[in-house]
Amino acid sequence: MKYQFSILRNLFFKKYLKWFIIYLFFMLIEIYIVTSTPDANIQKETILMLLSLVPFSELGILEKLFLIFNIVLTIYIVYTFFIYEYNNSFEFIFLRINHLKRNINKLIILLLFIFVIRSVNYFLIYFFFPNNELFNFFTYLKTVSYFLIFSIFLFSCFLVKKYLVN
């Protein structure tokens, strides 16, 4: 498990950090747009979009780009974390650990990472809009659970593809 944390830390500082800075930049632009428009309906939809909870058809072009970027960033995180050992330390896989145990450890670490990132996203948006009625425990669970389920699905797809190819 420590090894997987080390992999995640290395990936975060080498690859993920620049993408998270871009993500935060887009988020701050969207927050600025929300705070500068007086229409409450636009504010509600944009806040839900920042939480990734709005249907895709109801969004403007900037919101669609942000949501696509959010999904692609999640795919990128899952994929790079999954293939890290195959690209950088292939001997570790065969010499030191059982495949099932390694994959379970990877999945647990990945889910914890996604949980923390989505929680930070939720509380950052809550920090800018503290008196909004959209922020409750149910919205928080929806925000986090969608991305956790999506990450489990992606991880299982990569796992099945890996075993089918090998």
What's the pLDDT at 166? 46
User: What percent of the chain stands above pLDDT 90?
Assistant: 2
Q: Cα 108 vs. chain centroid, distance in angstroms?
A: 14
Binning pLDDT at 50, 70 and 90, where does residue 43 land? low
Higher pLDDT, 58 or 36: 36
What's the pLDDT at 18? 92
Q: Is the pLDDT of residue 37 over 80?
A: no
Chain segment 149-161, per-residue pLDDT in tens: 888 888 888 777 6
Binning pLDDT at 50, 70 and 90, where does residue 163 land? low
Q: What is the DSSP string of the chain?
A: -HHHHHHHHHHIIIIIHHHHHHHHHHHHHHHHHHHH---HHHHHHHHHHHTT-S-GGG--HHHHHHHHHHHHHHHHHHHHHHHHHHHH-HHHHHHT--HHHHHHHHHHHHHHHHHHHHHHHHHHHHHH-TT-TT-SHHHHHHHHHHHHHHHHHHHHHHHHHHHHH-
Count: domains in the chain: 1
Average pLDDT, the chain: 79
Domain carrying residue 108: 2-165
Chain segment 3-19, per-residue pLDDT in tens: 788 888 888 888 889 99
User: What percent of the chain stands above pLDDT 70?
Assistant: 82
What's the pLDDT at 165? 46
